[in-house]
Amino acid sequence: MQTHTYPRLRAVLLRVAQAIPVVIGVVIISFLLTRALPGDPAVFFAGAAADEASIAEIRVALGLDKPLIQQFFIYVGDLLQGDLGQSISSGQPVASDLANRLPASLELTLTALVLSCGIAIPLGILAATRPGSWVDHLCRVLVTAGVSLPTFFTGIVLIYVFYYLLGIAPSPIGRLDFIYLDPDRVTGFYLIDAALMGDWETWIGAAKQLVLPAITLALFTLAPIARMTRAAMLTALSSDFIRTARAAGLSNRKILYGYAFRNALLPVITTLGMVFSFALGANVLVEKVFAWPGIGSYAVEALVVSDYAAVQGFVLAMALLFVALNLAIDLLYTVIDPRIGFAAK
Taking CB under 8 A as the binding criterion, the range among 179-187, 225-233, 310-318, 320-328 that sits at the site for another protein is: 179-187
Which residues are within 8 A (CB) of 37 and not within 5 positions of it... i.e. 6 or more apart? 303, 306, 311
Asked if 214 is part of the footprint of another protein (rule: CB under 8 A), the reply reads: no
User: Per-residue contact track with another protein, 82 to 101, x per CB under 8 A?
Assistant: ------xxxxx----x--xx
Return phi, psi of residue 328, to 5°: -60, -40
User: Is residue 293 involved in binding another protein (CB under 8 A)?
Assistant: yes
Residue 180 binds another protein, judged by CB under 8 A: yes
Count of CB atoms within 10 A of residue 25's CB? Answer: 11
Instruction: Give the nearer residue to another protein in terms of CB position, either 65 or 177.
Output: 177
Query: Is 267 a residue that touches another protein (CB under 8 A)?
Result: no
Residues 153-172 that bind another protein (CB under 8 A): 156, 159-160, 163-164, 167, 171-172
Select the residue interacting with another protein from 28, 29, 74, 181 (CB under 8 A): 181
Residue whose C-alpha is closest to residue 89's, from 119, 138, 58, 45:
45
Q: Give 26 or 212: the residue with its C-beta nearer to another protein.
A: 212
Contact pick of 75, 298, 308, 314 for another protein (by CB under 8 A): 298
> Binding to another protein by residue 80, rule CB under 8 A?
no
By CB under 8 A, is residue 57 in contact with another protein? yes
Query: Residue 115, CB half-sphere, CA atoms under 13 Å: how many?
Result: 18
Q: Residue 6 or 160: which CB sits closer to another protein?
A: 160
> Cα(267)–Cα(36) distance, rounded to whole angstroms?
38
The residue among 111 and 306 lying less far from another protein, judged by its C-beta, is 306
**Could you say whether residue 45 binds another protein (CB under 8 A)?**
yes
Closest to another protein by CB, 8 vs 185, is: 185
111 Cβ partners below 8 Å, 6+ apart? Answer: 191, 210, 214
Q: How far is residue 343's CA from residue 29's CA, in Å, rounded to a whole number?
A: 31
**192 contributes a contact to another protein by CB under 8 A:** no
Residue of 12, 22, 10, 9 lying closest to 320 (CA atoms): 22
Shortest reach from residue 122's CB to another protein, in Å? 32
Q: What is the DSSP string of 67-89?
A: -HHHHHHHHHHHHHTT---B-TT
Q: Please report which helix (H) or strand (E) contains residue 24, including its range.
A: helix 2-36
Q: How far apart, in whole angstroms, are the C-alpha atoms of residue 196 and residue 189?
A: 11
Indicate the residue among 149 and 250 with the shorter CB distance to another protein. Answer: 149
Q: Is the Cβ of residue 83 or residue 301 nearer to another protein in the bound state?
A: 301
Which of 179, 199, 212, 188 is closest to 291 using CA atoms? Answer: 212
- What residues line the site for another protein (CB under 8 A)? 37-41, 43-51, 53-54, 57-58, 61-62, 88-92, 97, 100-101, 152, 156, 159-160, 163-164, 167, 171-175, 177-182, 184-185, 199, 201-202, 205, 287-291, 293, 297-298, 301, 304-306
